[in-house]
Amino acid sequence: MNMRVLSVLGAAGVVAASSLPAAAVPTAVTEVLPGETLTGVESHTLPTPPVHPARFTLPIDVAIVKDDTLADTPITDKYGIGSDIKVWAEDIRKCLYAKLKLVRMVGDKMVPFVINGDEGLIKMKGDKAICSIY
């Protein structure tokens, strides 16, 4: 083999080795409503590896869960002012790393939309994002 063929094979090997394995691709799971299926499947995982963006054409309307019953400051309300700062800070830290609670809109129905097994804690109250840790 000449050097040109070896360099092409080496470059192809580097690209193949550096690509993400199928397990590392983020996934989302959503419930399939009875009116949406012909086969009776109850849930669907998106995207199904290998990911080919040109083939991913499902129209999905995803929204953040809205809950107007949440308190504006649920963590501070639970512990009160002057409480144990370490416990309060731990709950604040959980909320800082929390994800949005998402739903898929199907007509007037809201179907849970879970990404990487995390349902999320952050909901919307009006125009404010509130962590619904409790």
Kindly state the tokens that stand for 100: 């949005």
Domain membership of residue 13 (yes or no) is no
pLDDT for 67 equals: 93
Domain membership of residue 87 (yes or no) is yes
Q: What is the mean pLDDT of residues 110-117?
A: 88
Main-chain phi, psi angles of 51, to 5 degrees = -85, 125
Check residues 118 and 22 and name the one with the higher pLDDT: 118
pLDDT for 127 equals: 92
pLDDT for 14 equals: 43
pLDDT tens digits, 10-20: 444 444 444 44
pLDDT at 23 over 80: no
Domain membership of residue 37 (yes or no) is yes
pLDDT tens digits, 38-97: 677 777 777 666 655 544 446 678 899 999 999 998 888 888 877 788 988 899 999 999
Q: What is the pTM of this model?
A: 0.63
pLDDT for 26 equals: 65
Element (H, E) at 111: strand 109-115
pLDDT for 27 equals: 76
| Closest C-alpha among 97, 99, 122, 102 to residue 112 | 102
- Alpha-carbon distance 37 to 82, whole Å? 54
Domain membership of residue 2 (yes or no) is no
Domain membership of residue 17 (yes or no) is no
If you search the block for the tokens 């192809």, which residue do you land on? 12
| Closest C-alpha among 66, 45, 80, 84 to residue 132 | 66
Query: How many CB atoms are located within 10 Å of the residue 48 CB?
Result: 13
Number of domains making up the chain: 1
Domain membership of residue 63 (yes or no) is yes
Write out the residue range of the structural domain in which residue 105 sits: 22-131
pLDDT tier at 24 (50, 70, 90 boundaries)?
A: low
Domain membership of residue 12 (yes or no) is no
DSSP string, 15-55: HHHHSPPGGGS--EEEEPPGGG-SS---EEEESPSSP-GGG
Domain membership of residue 29 (yes or no) is yes
pLDDT for 42 equals: 75
Determine what percent of the chain is predicted with pLDDT higher than 90: 26
Spatial contact of 115 and 105, defined as CB atoms under 8 Å apart: no
